Amino acid sequence: MPLIMGMSVLLACQFAGELLARGLAMPVPGPVLGMVILLVGLIVRGQVPASLRQTGEGLLRYLTLLFVPAGVGLMVHARLIGMDLVPIGVTLVGSTALTLAVTGWVLQRSQRRRSARGEP
């Protein structure tokens, strides 16, 4: 029963995100909005329910299987990807560098705030 409840929460958040994305014609995918809805709900609640934790851990255990379709897509469309290899490579390197820079900046800011409060 806990797995059903956890999966129901995840699917309800994704459904709400899809409704928002389509209803407001937002350029953001519905599942992303659903994750934001879930995050806000968890922040308001202050903790992760046991059923949601159990479901999330179960999904993460098999996360590597979700990379199989992406790998097949790369093999099927290798020639098409090869035609645009330079822009794809520049985009991947640039987005990775930007992500690392923003992550480092956020980490520094959070460490400064914690040290200012006297937290370890």
30-85: pLDDT as tens digits: 999 999 999 999 999 989 999 999 999 988 998 888 889 888 988 999 999 999 99
Residue 90: half-sphere exposure toward Cβ, Cα within 13 Å: 3
99-114: pLDDT as tens digits: 999 999 999 999 998 8
Every domain of the chain and the residues it spans:
1-61, 66-120
Q: What pLDDT does 106 receive?
A: 95
Structure tokens belonging to residue 81? 């990807």
Output the pTM of the full model: 0.61
CA angle 28, 74, 22 (to 5 degrees): 15
Given a cut of 90, is residue 118 above it in pLDDT?
no
Report the alpha-carbon distance of residue 60 to residue 28 in Å, rounded: 24
